[in-house]
Amino acid sequence: MDFHLPFPATVALIFSMALLASLLQTFNRKSRNNRNPPEAKGAWPVIGHLHLLHRSHLPHKVLGAMADTYGPIFTIKLGVCQALVVSDADMARVCFTTNDLDFANRPTTVVTELLGCNSAKFSFAPYGDYWRKLRKIVTLELLSQRRVEMLGYIRVSELRSATNDIYEAWVMNNSDLVKVEMKQWFGNLILNIVVRSISGKRFSPNDDEGVRFQAVARKYFKLLGAFIVSDFIPFLKGLDVGGYEKAMKVTATEMDNFFDQWLKEKKREKESGGGNQVFMDALLTAGSETTTVTLTWALSLLLNNPKSLKIAQDELDEHVGRERLVEESDIKNLSYLQAIIKETLRLYPPGPLSVPHHSRNDCIVAGYNIAKGTRLFVNLWKLHRDPKVWSDPNLFQPERFLTSKKDIDVKGNHFELLPFGSGRRMCPGVSFALQSLHFTMATLLQQFMLKNPSDEPIDMSESFGMTNLKATPLDVLLTPRLSPCMYHVDA
């Protein structure tokens, strides 16, 4: 017997089947899009993974080991905060291209509140019209390539003064090898270059104002990387664990007093180059600490690799000679020197976990759902040592940037090498930093023979903090390699 559905029932059945198919398709699509990235094991109640990131274990190395287990993208819990950690070039490319706008914010923390004037300073400001206006001024005026080149006379003057100090110490030492703690020497030099670029002032070694500002600036940079527990466990806010908040308030006031004084002096002198406090801070944070850190690691690596040191000095002798001092215009001909700086930035990026980003909204990264308010850490230390990209990734081999990696630069376009970041929140001080790095290293290597005072290799221990400081001093024995008349040439 034939069975016939009435026409309305047939239509209803077809409609129901179509609706069911549509719902299943939607469910499957949402299921595919509702994937969460893997979360690292080991989280504790309340504090999450914070216990794994204490001072005895460097965070970039702990997170690098986690990447070996969980892959190039995973999450951790930092108290109440969710954090996304990416560790290879492909994931970094996605974050800084496809999702660049999603991660264009910086997290709001005690540091941004107290040292960043409630996130008003350029480095800490949230993404928006205000930040875009600041960035336009900073990148097109204060830190543009043209502006950096205009300030070249300051770098020349400060470098010649600093190298002359070493020469005079050598003379006072009866022309024997003179020992210099180079981490401090680099720090004083770069800070003087930055301060003079900001204020137009030049501090002599025993200048009281200069000594006081150097002390304040060092406190400022140290506090920028301070671990504030209440950022991650809010109910502890107000306890000021470690006394950091009190120190930040004092340091911020001291820094503002210096900037106010310099601005008043500039107004009296009818100068406009320094801008205002926001821009003074941008110049200070863009070039000082990171440049000092990189120069210290570069010299440490060269002392542990004397063949590379000799090649660099031979290159200087070939392209510059010893009858005149190296100039910034010579740098373009010093390809091995440039390779040394790139290799140093690869092995020891000044911010090994990059400056954290903060997601402005819910987004999908590489197929994974990422919630609004998630912090993004790009593990540059791990990314720069990826064996799929770099042969012998843990070895110092500047030659790689003259051969297989010769087309890679550090300006945010090659995601396998991102010491200054990439995308909208990339460090705007790249040109300033590179000019200072290349010229300082070229000057030092041209003018002095350098030697490790110990039979043991230079200690390459890293310190805990936002910037990757060398944990121990860098004592170096120096002796001039140019004729005496070359050490008193005016800038």
219: which residues sit within 8 A by CB, 6+ positions away? 247, 251
Q: Rounded to whole angstroms, how far apart are CA atoms 370 and 374?
A: 7
- DSSP 3-state assignment of 236? helix
CB 69 within 8 A of CB 76: no
Q: Between the CA of residue 426 and those of 160, 225, 361, what are the distances in Å? A: 31, 18, 20
CA distance 257 to 307: 48
Query: At 62, which amino acid appears?
Result: V
**How large is the angle between the packed helices 182-199 and 430-447, nearest 10 degrees?**
130
Is 485 part of any known ligand binding site?
no
Let me know if 22 is exposed, middle or buried by CB neighbors in 10 A (0-12, 13-18, 19+): exposed
d(CA 465, CA 227): 8
Residue whose tokens read 């047939």: 10
Per DSSP, the three-state class of 377 is: strand
For 161-174, the DSSP string reads HHHHHHHHHHHHTT
Question: How far is residue 321 from each of residues 326, 400, 441, measured CA to CA in Å?
Answer: 8, 25, 16
Task: Identify any residues that bridge with 178 across adjacent strands, giving them in sequence order.
Answer: 478
Residue 435 contacts residue 148 (beta carbons within 8 Å) = yes
Angle between helices 430-447 and 277-304 (to 10 degrees): 40
Annotation: binding site: 427
Annotation: binding site for heme: 427
